[in-house]
Amino acid sequence: MATIKAYTADRIFTGDHWLDKKSILSENGIIKDVIEADALPRGIENKFFQNCSIVPAFIDLQIYGAYGKLLAVYPQADSLFALNEYCKKGGAAFCLAAVATNTREVFFKCIDAVKDYWEKDGDGILGLHLEGPWLNPEKRGAHIESLIHTPALKEVKDLLEYGKGVIKMITIAPEVCSKEVIDLILSYEIIITAGHSNATYTEAMQGFENGITAVTHLYNAMSPLQHRQPGLAGAAMDHPSVMASIIPDGYHVDYAAIRIAKKVMSDRLFVITDAVTETDEGYYQHQLAGDKYEASGILSGSALTMAKAVDNLVSHCKINLSETLRMCSLYPARVIKMDSVLGKIGKNYHTKLTVLDKDLKVVDIIF
């Protein structure tokens, strides 16, 4: 027989508005209702979080590793368990494990690692986000130039077939990928996002027309917004529906630039951590430099958690808390077409909740 559980806090953010002194009723991991806290039926197990807020759990669509286990270096289920633990400590119930430009062998091993993780009942990892290798070397950032290339259809087909059901998102440079390649990727129901690209405004807009629905880490490693050459950054801002991720650590993007993008893009801008971990093996030897990571002296990844991203957006970007929370939950859910069950607190949504104290620190995650 199903057991109904209740979760109560001083405040609950539904994804639309704030409620005071309410309780969330959950049955079999699905929210049944949100009711007055003092109207809870007798006998229901109730977990009360005093001086806290319950919000929709965060979703990180680009994170590479944690606790010394970069997935590309250690393509094993253990690395994904470590990654999931890191995400949850930062308030994220779900993530896409990311792999940067690499060899075919590494990509295949990472696909195997996700399958093994799922077979071991690992939760929270929705699949893989492949960032590369079909990028523009002129905007490679810390990616390995010798591995970046224009794809052939057979190569794409082989990778997608092997990773069917595991690969959920791929970052490409639209100017180096043909419409046939884009169509093939889309036929596997994979989200395509544009990044590490030197596309002109026209090329970027054509890519969006061809089915690219998002942009990877806005401003970073892309043709910039200039008054005579708007580039990929300008195209992302100008398009009516394309969404874009951003890394709010204060290093990848100046906080003022985040505020500007937010004013222009509104609900089309969402958060990723782009977090990596320290390693001295493999192609990407990330070293901690303060509270960011570098590889060969080049900025290569963040040390963010989603909770820290929330704090930065509120404290430094002066974005209101409600909208900040949506940038970390509802909008990522929208990107991966899961916003009908994730990113909000309401009837028939999954009971995936993050509990924050008054200082926006993670107290608990309900998964």
Residue 146 is classified by DSSP as G
Over 70: is that where the pLDDT of 209 sits?
Answer: yes
Q: What is the CA radius of gyration of the chain?
A: 20
Over 80: is that where the pLDDT of 307 sits?
Answer: yes
Give the model confidence (pLDDT) of 272-284 as tens digits.
999 999 998 888 8
Over 90: is that where the pLDDT of 295 sits?
Answer: no
Give the model confidence (pLDDT) of 57-69 as tens digits.
999 999 999 999 9
- CA pair distance 212, 215, nearest whole angstrom: 8
Q: Given pLDDT bands bounded at 50, 70 and 90, which one contains residue 2?
A: low
Give the model confidence (pLDDT) of 236-270 as tens digits.
999 999 999 999 999 999 999 999 999 999 999 99
Percent of the chain that is helix, strand, coil (3-state, to 5): 30, 30, 40
Buried b (16+ CB within 10 A) or exposed e, 289-303: eeebbbbeeebbbbb
Across the chain, what does the average pLDDT equal? Answer: 97
pLDDT value for 308: 98
- CA pair distance 225, 244, nearest whole angstrom: 14
Give the model confidence (pLDDT) of 82-110 as tens digits.
999 999 999 999 999 999 999 999 999 99
Give the model confidence (pLDDT) of 126-164 as tens digits.
999 999 999 999 999 989 999 999 999 999 999 999 999
pLDDT value for 282: 83
Q: Are 156 and 116 in contact (CB under 8 A)?
A: no
Residues 6+ apart with CB under 8 A from 60: 87, 90, 92, 94, 95, 96, 271, 272, 273, 275, 306, 332
pLDDT value for 284: 86
- CA pair distance 342, 359, nearest whole angstrom: 24
If one compares 300 and 225, the residue with the highest pLDDT of the two is 225
Question: Domains of the chain, with CATH numbers?
Answer: 4-56+344-366 (2.30.40.10), 58-335 (3.20.20.140)
- Torsion angle (degrees, nearest 10) of CA 62, 123, 311, 288: -60
Q: Given pLDDT bands bounded at 50, 70 and 90, which one contains residue 326?
A: very high
- Smallest CA-to-CA distance from 233 within 267, 198, 209 is with 198
Catalytic residues: 274
